[in-house]
Amino acid sequence: MATAGDAAGLSPVMAVALVGALGVGSQWIAWRLRMPAIVLMLLAGVLAGPVFGIFDPERDIGTFYKPMIAVAVAVILFEGGLTLNFHSLRDAAEGVKRLVVIGAPLGWLLSTLALRYGAGLSWESSAVFGGIMIVTGPTVIAPLLRTARLARRPAALLQWEAIVNDPIGALAAVLAFEVVLVLRTAETVGSAAWTLVLGIGVATVLGIVGGYGIAQAFRRAWVPEYMKVPVLFTVLLAVFAVSDSVLHESGLLAVTIMGIVIANANLASFEELRRFKEHATILLVSGVFILLAASLDFSALGLLDWRAGVFVAVVVLVARPVTVFLSLLSTSLPKTEIALVALTGPRGVVLVAVAGLFGERLVELGVDDAALIGPLAFVLVAATVVVHGFTLKPFARALGLTAAETPGVLIVGGSRWSAGLAEALKEAEVPVLVSDPNRGHLKRAREAGLPTFFGDILSEAAEHNIELMQFKSIVAATDNDAYNTLVATDLGPEFGRENVYQVAREKGDYKRYQLPATLGGRPFADGATYNALNRMVWQGWTFRTTKLTEEYGYDDWREKRPRAVLLAVIAPEGEIQFVGGDVEVPIGPGARLISMLPPEEAARPRPAAG
């Protein structure tokens, strides 16, 4: 299927640019179409590589291609470790512990049996590949969770299991490979065991020392702020390289441990580091998926027969569910959550990369059917990515384990105005929560029967007690302009800066009080301040929801309500967008307008359309 481009090839720079364009472009298109990004990245890589022959990683990038993947996987696992703060594990601790301690060895056993009797591989190939299959793929889980918007606990279970079991799966494969090495060569059992123990020990020590060293250096200001990320990257690569030189694939364990140590060190600059790493990880996940898909050899897939389909079905429908159900037996977790985790086991980058490596090594040792490990790994990844990519969200929705179907609004700041807006949103069937660190400010909202949270929205308590995934927009509307700016700035990266709004600052028009554009949220409500909005409520302004139709459009509404302050627009499908700034909001038939009306306009009879 290759074309003329196959002969000439791309320059290394052009190849890297193409990988970036395909990876990030696939993620952007997936976001626009609300599709699983992993599926589109897989498709883009296959089309660019084996189908049209535009891009061949080994030909166009050369020998640097595989080290690039190895380093990228290390960075991805390190970033995953950075998300594993023990405080965030509180609700899911028991389940995660069982999925690692019981689930990993049980999954290894069942995967080995699936390979032996499903795919028909030898015991040697089955044991090595079965160890790798413990991995459930953090590179796949993260994008899936972002799309599915699961409830907090099942999301934590899947995320922790994927990241912690990732290096364990690689090390299980190393252990099985060492056994095969002993049986196939003159190497002694003692020598193989010593290599394995030494490698795991060195990886653990390096991970702890590297993480603790970074934490101390940053905490004691031994590293200037502008050099923190470069120093972190350098130490990360050094830890990975040294550990990997002692025992292949142990570097994955080292960087994961290093990330977990830093995540639990309570560093003041941790959030900035984590967000930078998240951005880097999105680029790396995109790139690695494109590289692996583009390097697929269709002739290798031709070695597979019908037993490959049996193998995938057994893994997805038997091995994974049995592993999870037995691991989580007698826990306090609801059966719906156990079922969701049991039927969600996508495999990703690490599986394909490590499987290909060990497949080649086993072939060199004389295990002929190990040539099938690479193709089987790719088929398993492709099948689970597509299946879970399209089924996770509807399955979780059917089990009641997703955030609210309609994206909600989080209002920070209790007041008469906040309570009025929250009531209007509730009547419009938009999930809403009013938060304030002052209990007295929440009195009116509580009297109206509205959901409230007493506490600081930026606190750890809020992270544990509020399902933030059910909210799309945030409105910072306390009586403290500085706190509003802090909330909008801190939560902007999490919610998306386009979804974070803030009441106008009292002195925002004065040059000496103006803040940089990077701080605070977007304006709305015609630039009204906290005092102005609440003064309007005291003067008798009321909240009103109006539905537009073909006969009664926005221009008609504005003509009849010239003084109305338009706050937000709810699209026909339920998406809400607050109105402010220079961003155009599409307002058409079926949309609902949430506004504030002065007493004289509110007293007029409602138009037929509302």
Residues 542-576 pLDDT 10s: 999 888 888 888 888 888 888 888 898 888 877 88
- Do the Cβ atoms of 170 and 253 come closer than 8 Å? yes
pLDDT at 92 (0 to 100): 61
Q: Which of 8-12, 38-42, 537-541 has the highest mean pLDDT?
A: 537-541
Residue scoring higher pLDDT (31 or 104): 104
Question: Matching CATH topology for 5-398 and 408-602?
Answer: no
| Pairing verdict, β 542-547 and 432-436 | unpaired
pLDDT at 212 (0 to 100): 93
d(CA 423, CA 438): 20
- Do the Cβ atoms of 579 and 568 come closer than 8 Å? yes
- The pLDDT of 70-82, averaged and rounded, is 77
pLDDT at 297 (0 to 100): 77
What is the rounded average pLDDT for all residues in the chain? 82
Q: Helix, strand or coil for residue 452? A: strand
**Distinct helix (H) and strand (E) counts, the chain:** 27, 9
- The pLDDT of 294-320, averaged and rounded, is 86
d(CA 360, CA 306): 23
pLDDT at 520 (0 to 100): 79
Residues 325-337 pLDDT 10s: 999 888 888 888 8
The count of residues in the chain is: 610
- The pLDDT of 504-516, averaged and rounded, is 68
Residues 421-467 pLDDT 10s: 999 998 888 889 999 988 888 888 888 888 898 888 887 667 667 77
- The pLDDT of 243-260, averaged and rounded, is 83
What are the structure tokens assigned to 513, written together? 């009080």
Residues 140-149 pLDDT 10s: 776 677 677 7
Q: To the nearest 10°, report the CA torsion of 357, 361, 366, 368.
A: 0
What are the structure tokens assigned to 565, written together? 């302050």
Q: Say which residue the tokens 């999930």 belong to.
A: 431
- Do the Cβ atoms of 22 and 44 come closer than 8 Å? yes
Asked whether the predicted pLDDT for residue 579 surpasses 60, the reply is yes
- The pLDDT of 72-99, averaged and rounded, is 73
| Dihedral sign from CA coordinates of 227, 231, 234, 240 | negative
| Dihedral sign from CA coordinates of 492, 91, 338, 382 | positive
| Dihedral sign from CA coordinates of 225, 230, 233, 238 | negative
Residues 263-281 pLDDT 10s: 888 877 666 676 666 677 7
Asked whether the predicted pLDDT for residue 481 surpasses 60, the reply is yes
Instruction: Give the DSSP H or E segment for 597.
Output: strand 592-597
Domain-wise residue ranges, the chain: 5-398, 408-602
User: CA separation (Å) from 177 to 131, 185, 341, 441?
Assistant: 10, 12, 29, 63
What are the structure tokens assigned to 428, written together? 């419009």
Residue scoring higher pLDDT (178 or 263): 263
Most distant CA pair in the chain: distance in Å?
95
Q: What would the DSSP string read from start to end of 382-440? A: HHHHHHHHHHHHHHHHHTT-BS-SS-EEEEES-SHHHHHHHHHHHHTT--EEEEES-GG
Backbone phi and psi for residue 552, each to the nearest 5 degrees, phi listed first: -125, 95
Asked whether the predicted pLDDT for residue 314 surpasses 90, the reply is yes
Q: Helix, strand or coil for residue 473? A: strand
Instruction: Give the closest residue to 371 by CA, choosing from 595, 16, 117, 122.
Output: 122
| Dihedral sign from CA coordinates of 213, 216, 221, 225 | positive
Asked whether the predicted pLDDT for residue 507 surpasses 80, the reply is no
pLDDT band at 510 (very low <50, low <70, confident <90, very high): low
Q: Give me the CATH code for the 5-398 domain, please.
A: 1.20.1530.20
Residue scoring higher pLDDT (380 or 168): 380
Asked whether the predicted pLDDT for residue 541 surpasses 60, the reply is yes
- Answer whether 0.75 is exceeded by the pTM: no
What radius of gyration do the chain's Cα atoms show?
27
Topology (CATH) of 408-602: Rossmann fold (3.40.50)
Q: How many CB atoms neighbour CB 587 within 10 A? A: 19
Q: What would the DSSP string read from start to end of 495-520? A: H-GGGEEEPBPTTTTSGGG---TTSS
Asked whether the predicted pLDDT for residue 404 surpasses 60, the reply is no
Share of the chain above pLDDT 90, in %: 15
Asked whether the predicted pLDDT for residue 610 surpasses 50, the reply is no
pLDDT at 317 (0 to 100): 92
pLDDT at 275 (0 to 100): 65
Q: Helix, strand or coil for residue 352? A: helix
